[in-house]
Amino acid sequence: MKTAIVLVLAALVACASASGCDSLARLKVKGQWSRAYSSGSDRENFVIALWRAFFAQAPEAVSLFSNVGNGDSSSGLFRAHGERVISGLDAAINLLDQPETLKAELDHLQEQHEPRNIPAKYFTVFRTALGNVLPAQLGRCYDKEAWKACFDVIAAGIQGQ
């Protein structure tokens, strides 16, 4: 009886992890990202919306951006910084299905983030911001679970976990 329960539990765990950021979820996230990220001024508006959603949850986080325009999207300095950060996320998402190159990119992003000592909670805040803005771009196509799982893979890599 006990063995059976353990087996069922093990099967459930296997099932849960298989529905995480597996190879199909990665393809889906890549496809959804390329539509949401867009280009030109649409892209800039998307990026600005993402950062507004971020700072709306964590207004105190502007202090992390004191040398790049304090999170103020009316500043060219911050718009450029916002684009730069999201361009790093774009690289990580696009490389989700190429493990060796993804690893190299995440190592690079980790090196850039390490000296800044960013509290882990801000990665969760950022994930929530994506969860707020992506559905607005993608409508019903937005796959919440796939995004959550794959964003966590990227965030863990950037935090060196």
Partner 1 sequence: SRIAFGSLSKIAVRRNSLKMFRLAVLLGLVAFCAAKLPIDHCCSAEDRNIVQEQWQTLWKDTESSRVKMAFGRNLLLKLAELNPAVKGLFANVDIDNPTGGKFNAHAFRILNGIDMTINLLKDPEGLDAALDHLADQHAVRSGVTKAQFRSMGAILSDALPRVLDDYNSLSWKSCFKLILTQIASKLSD
Applying CB under 8 A, the residues found at the interface with partner 1 are 27, 30-31, 34, 39-41, 43-44, 76-77, 79-81, 83-84, 87, 90-91, 94-95, 98, 100-105, 108
Rounded-to-integer distance, Cα 123 and Cα 27, Å = 22
Please report how close the Cβ of residue 111 comes to partner 1 at its closest, in angstroms: 11
Rounded-to-integer distance, Cα 62 and Cα 122, Å = 11
Q: Is 81 annotated as a binding residue?
A: no
Q: Which two tokens stand for residue 81?
A: 């910084």
Rounded-to-integer distance, Cα 42 and Cα 90, Å = 15
CA distances from 151 to 79, 86, 124, 127 (A): 22, 13, 9, 7
Rounded-to-integer distance, Cα 147 and Cα 130, Å = 9
Residue among 64 and 125 whose Cβ is closer to partner 1: 64
Please report how close the Cβ of residue 13 comes to partner 1 at its closest, in angstroms: 30
Residue among 19 and 112 whose Cβ is closer to partner 1: 112
Residue among 13 and 24 whose Cβ is closer to partner 1: 24
Asked if residue 46 lies in contact with residue 37, where contact means CB atoms within 8 angstroms, the answer is yes
Please report how close the Cβ of residue 34 comes to partner 1 at its closest, in angstroms: 6
Please report how close the Cβ of residue 26 comes to partner 1 at its closest, in angstroms: 11
Residue among 48 and 125 whose Cβ is closer to partner 1: 48
Binding residues for heme b: 113
Binding residues: 113
